[in-house]
Structure 1
């Protein structure tokens, strides 16, 4: 990945896998969050704490972590208790059973003590990929954040426990991708995303919205319109381009559902950063699954009309632009804004497109700051 203008020295250290990412700040934060469940409240909102602190530490904002964690912990529920053991023989029966989050956490904690984390990840990535919508993609996003820490050299009990918690959430909330054929067209991710039709009734929960997709005229053809990836390198390119297209798309359509639509960018970015830890034969299926999921969220939540250009923010420019946008996200303190700004900053790094940074500011303007 290209060197990012405006990165602090600590950011560069994190990017190069130097010890900062494996230091005590991230580990301590993980340990505090591991006493909590992956969801909280009556509405089963997702616990974003471990994901956000990984961004803060990797981006050189470790001095903000303790204060942010103390504030965020107040809203969370305890980790659900175990009910029964999950075994290698009966795991399929527990897949998608949200009542068994505690059981899945125990199962993966044990597996990661007994086998190398890459082996566990590869085995379960293949099993969980059909249910990648889990927690409106928060399962794969949580896994993606901790895999970034592991790939940077932070293999220790706290990060392995975090991987167990992420996989457990994904398994317990497994939800299938809306049916659609694989990519078979000639369009770029941007071109394909532009063709995705909207569901007729953009109200209600995820299940109700996604339930409209199988009968939506043009849905299958639009998903299939993406150009397939013939090689692993092309998979990486398609994913990077999809993350960029979704980030820029948020600038235009984020007002439709400011929180849900950030995941059109952060979920494929999580997959992109996990692929180096996976066997290459899993790369193309991963692209296909997350493309279909991204298209589904776009169809279900992006409004038909884009925001007028006059309503959009002007991003900062110059060598300190990225650092300024990241600082604004940290000050804003909402977990979605922190994670989306991290992704948008990466898109700007790769493409130099100022609208990526504008999209980050757009998210901060649409989503209320943390209390």
Structure 2
């Protein structure tokens, strides 16, 4: 294992082995729940926990389902009708597998990013999160094995899942007054939907108003800075508001962080669009699940970031691991408190 910044480069091959295990399984289970294992094992490897990858995966494996059957290949002629059709997940994954086998992965990503970005809300934002984990690994280590190796294959699975679950947010009225505010203030200004009942698709249809934020940002440097601010603000907000829904509110931070992690692999003229889509996603999740009142989080004390991640691993829940992974990108005191709050709020997975 080699350490790079706050993350660790996996030189053991364990991540590749885990991804190969997972690529015979589908992106979902029970028709609607996401397979979180590819994201969680990448986070474990990135934080120096390669020795725990297969053990964690063995416990998660009973939740996995076989890779779904395909219907028909995705082509230039039928891709528009196939976009957003979850029955076509295998078809889309196969499509991106072929694309990545013949072209540089950054070129494929750049071509499809503006097509997929408006629909990042499908699959509870998990597809873009899966892509973000795949891109982080490719940027750090490249691919391995035969072409395409397990890491490029993982990108194909993430992009294919995204295309199959593509769902735009429409009919949302802009609320003025927060465009120049901080990300934290803008999240505080998000109006909660009435009732907050039902699953994400039902709640998403009730999101009628969202604050305008950072719409004037068009340059890449400013987009990167504002997106970093948003990730930090959403992570901090979990520490004070995560009790509203301990699982779903994780995505208010992890979805924009997936976009942030992907930006360095994209042409700079695509960065601002990523910021704007990430804001809508984070704000929508906040509207759907935020509680009426905040709490004061307990400080992390003298725990180091590594010790906080070890607590997340000991807990074992995939959302706890992924939020902690995001928190450790900027591990200040409130980010670490957010990770520990997720450990506190979330029920441990069944043995």
TM-score class normalised by the smaller sequence: over 0.9
| CA offset digits 1:144-185 (Å, max 9, x no partner) | 001000001232310010000000110001111243559982
Alignment of 1:158 with 2:137, yes or no, is no
Which TM-score applies when normalising by structure 2?
Answer: 0.93
Residue aligned with 1:329, SS: helix
How far apart in 1 are the matches of 2:59 and 2:102?
35
Give 1:254-265 correspondences, 5 Å limit: 254-265=242-253
Residue 210 of structure 1: how far off its partner (Å): 1.7
Q: Which has the higher contact order (CA 8 A, sep 6+)?
A: 1
Q: Structure 2: which 5+ residue stretches go unaligned?
A: none
Alignment of 1:198 with 2:189, yes or no, is no
How far apart in 2 are the matches of 1:313 and 1:196?
25
Of 227-236 and 120-129, more deviation after overlay is shown by 227-236
Alignment of 1:32 with 2:21, yes or no, is yes
Contact 1:21 1:149 in 2 (8 A): no
How far apart in 2 are the matches of 1:98 and 1:256?
29
Counterpart in 2 of 1:315? 300
| CA offset digits 1:110-135 (Å, max 9, x no partner) | 11101110111111111101101121
Counterpart in 2 of 1:369? 348
Residue 56 of structure 1: how far off its partner (Å): 0.7
How far apart in 1 are the matches of 2:213 and 2:62?
45
- CA separation of 1:175 and 1:119: change in aligned 2, threshold 3 A: same
Counterpart in 1 of 2:51? 63
Counterpart of 1:334 (choices 317, 320, 326) is 317
Which TM-score applies when normalising by structure 1?
Answer: 0.88
Residue aligned with 1:185, SS: coil
Aligned-pair RMSD on alpha carbons?
Answer: 1.8
Residue aligned with 1:306, SS: coil
Residue aligned with 1:74, SS: helix
Give 1:1-371 correspondences, 5 Å limit: 10-12=2-4, 15=7, 20-21=9-10, 23-41=12-30, 44-156=32-144, 157-178=149-170, 179-180=172-173, 185-214=179-208, 219-220=209-210, 222=211, 224-226=212-214, 228-307=216-295, 309=296, 312-317=297-302, 321-348=304-331, 352=332, 354-371=333-350
How far apart in 2 are the matches of 1:101 and 1:325?
36
How many residues are treated as equivalent by the alignment? 344
